[in-house]
A = this chain, B = another copy of it.
Amino acid sequence: MRCTEFDDKGNVKTTAGEFLKSELCIQHGILPRDLRTIDTHHVNPKSAILVRSEAILVNLAHIRALIKSDLVVIFDTFGSTNSYNQSIFIYDLQERLRSGNRDSLPYEFRALEAIFISVVSSLQSEVTVLENMVTKLLSDLEDSIQQEKLKDMLQYTKKLSEFYQGVVSTRDAINEVLDQDEDLAAMYLTAKKAGSPRDPSDHEEIELLLEAYLKQTEEVENKAATLISHMKSTEEIVQIMLDTNRNALLLFELKLTVATMSVGTGALIASMLGMNLRNYMENDPFAFGIVSAATLCTVGLTLAGALRKVKVLSKPYC
């Protein structure tokens, strides 16, 4: 596994160093099982914050890290598209690790805070991008419903639901640590190393820190949930709009069919009189006028009667 190490002054000890998993386990006192949770080859691993005796293992969003009381190891996630975020994060992490004097938080919490800031800001920028895309799509869909946009909608729905699952997984990971007093106390690695481990009930700083980023994660979660519910509502209304439109089309089709049938009836009468048979009116001087008028009347009456029926059927829907 490739990773970058920072020492207790925040300086980079090794960049993109290759380590064997087994070495890492022995060196930092962690189990192979634990390392697997931050394995960089899994595509979509569950977020987790594992507190072990000498180290904290973090796997949140794009960051996989191992934090000790005087060492931070950031594992490289290949193929990650967050390289810009990553470099901002590295810079911020170093700043915070170095600022030991003017800040009362111990080394490991400064590392954690840098990680949380990077995670939360990346979630926030992602949700903003999604929000813009979805809002545009939905307002487009309200104006005109096109197959192309529906396919986009499917893509966005999938993306959103995966993003939402990721945020929920991050939130759960933070929550899980917050729920267990022993884990919170065990996160004071510096104190533990100094031989004075914290009492399980004494963990205010880390609790406040976690809670603050939990709130921000929940805010992102709410935004994503709102987007999802907006897509859902739009989907449903679009379906009803298509339905009403279909009924309107059908209604007009009905009127046309009425007209077609009426002129067909007229044509039947006319073509019957066009048969090569004796109708005894061949020479009647007024027959053409009378028959024509009668035919058109029939057409008109059929039309009017059928259209009245159509009106009754369609009354509440237009």
Contact = CB atoms under 8 A, between A and B. Distances in A.
Contact of A254 (B144, B252, B272, B291): B252
A304 interface: no
A7 to B, nearest CB: 27
Given A147-B244, A150-B241, A241-B150, A33 B209 contact: yes
A279 B268 contact: no
Interface residues of A, number: 103
Interface of A: 31, 33-34, 36-37, 42, 44-46, 48, 142-147, 150-151, 153-154, 157-158, 161-162, 165, 169, 208-209, 212, 215-216, 218-219, 222-223, 225-226, 229-230, 233-254, 256-261, 263-268, 270-285, 287-288, 291-292, 295, 299, 306, 309-310, 313-314, 316-318
A243 B239 contact: yes
B46 A317 contact: no
25 contacts: A31-B212, A33-B208, A36-B212, A44-B219, A46-B215, A46-B219, A142-B151, A147-B245, A147-B316, A150-B241, A153-B237, A157-B233, A157-B237, A165-B222, A235-B236, A249-B313, A253-B257, A257-B260, A261-B263, A267-B271, A272-B292, A272-B295, A275-B276, A278-B288, A280-B288
A148 to B, nearest CB: 10
Contacts of A42: 219
A316 B245 CA distance: 9
A215 B263 contact: no
Contacts of A251: 249
Nearest to A212: B33
Among A44, A235, A264, A275, the one with the most B-chain Cβ atoms within 10 Å of its Cβ is A275
Nearest to A286: B278
